[in-house]
């Protein structure tokens, strides 16, 4: 049975994304940090890891991209999860009794308008599912949490309100990590990281290799190179598989012009799973 490592407590959105990709029967392994996900796969305690890398509202998760550069696991797949936030409380709690709401700061920020309109005080905690676990273990009058519906089922909490996020287009993108290359899909995407020489037009020259072959770039973002102050690396996604003739030609051109290139993986591209509110 496949084991998938994820960051957080049981009931985390990462665990929900793992079920979306692998199916509800997959075994999951909670990890304390993003780095622990990599360690679990590298040491053989998990077959795959699932790593959140980008949110449609909050942007990229920098620590995740730094780890992809530093470690040697391949991107094996991609998941795009529609994040729906739920207001959860202990059984028999009424919505009008809620005074404070606990959750991860990002979840609280994504539900700011809802909390303000109901006069609820946001209380930051380390984790969405962790806040649900703690409230179930230590009930408190007037307290609720923001977490997933999965967390409600796991910890026996009641759903007081659903879909309370301020923005309906709240999606998080995850990478599935593994040791091997995945099977080629019908639609593929490739992720890589590269750096340029310090000469005028260096970045333009690198990107030109994709433009002249008609390859569509779906992401381009710079990050500081942690080993060299004021030096930068560029994370790039493009449509296609590295073995496609056009893509292979573009990568060879990039290798000639860049000072460093690391292909993070070619994998089947995920489609956005639309859900009603």
Residues taking part in catalysis: 172, 174
Which 3 state secondary structure label does DSSP give 91? coil
DSSP assignment string, 226-255:
TTSTT-EEEEEEEES-TTSHHHHHHHHHHH
For 10, 14, 35, 77, 232, the CA distances from 29, given in Å and listed in that order, are: 9, 11, 14, 18, 34
Q: Classify residue 35 by burial, with Cβ atoms within 10 Å: 0-12, 13-18, 19+.
A: middle
Alpha-carbon distance of 48 to 45, in angstroms, equals: 9
Alpha-carbon distance of 74 to 227, in angstroms, equals: 22
């Amino acid at each position: 049975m496949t084991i998938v490592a994820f960051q957080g407590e049981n009931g985390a959105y990462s665990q929900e994304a793992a079920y979306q990709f692998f199916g509800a029967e997959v075994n999951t392994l909670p990890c304390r940090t993003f780095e622990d996900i990599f360690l679990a796969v590298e040491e053989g305690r998990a077959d795959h890891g699932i790593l959140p890398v980008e949110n449609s509202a909050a942007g990229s998760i920098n620590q995740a991209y730094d780890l992809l550069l530093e470690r040697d696991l391949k991107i094996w797949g991609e998941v795009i999860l529609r994040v729906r936030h739920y207001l959860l409380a202990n059984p028999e709690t009424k919505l009008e009794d809620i005074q404070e709401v606990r959750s991860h700061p990002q979840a609280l920020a994504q539900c700011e308008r809802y909390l303000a309109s109901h006069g609820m005080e946001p209380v930051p905690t380390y984790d969405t599912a962790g806040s649900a676990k703690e409230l179930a273990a230590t009930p408190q009058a007037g307290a609720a949490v923001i977490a997933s519906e999965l967390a409600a089922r796991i910890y026996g909490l009641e759903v007081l309100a659903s879909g309370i996020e301020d923005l309906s287009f709240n999606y998080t993108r995850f990478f599935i990590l593994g040791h091997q290359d995945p099977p080629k899909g019908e639609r593929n995407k490739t992720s890589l990281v590269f750096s340029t020489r310090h000469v005028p037009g260096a970045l333009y020259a690198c990107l030109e290799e994709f433009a002249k072959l008609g390859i569509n770039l779906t992401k381009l973002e710079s990050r500081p190179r942690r080993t060299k102050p004021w030096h930068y690396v560029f994370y790039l996604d493009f449509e296609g598989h590295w073995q496609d003739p056009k893509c292979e030609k573009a990568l060879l051109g990039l290798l000639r012009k860049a000072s460093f290139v690391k292909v993070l993986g070619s994998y089947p591209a995920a489609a956005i799973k639309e859900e009603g509110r």
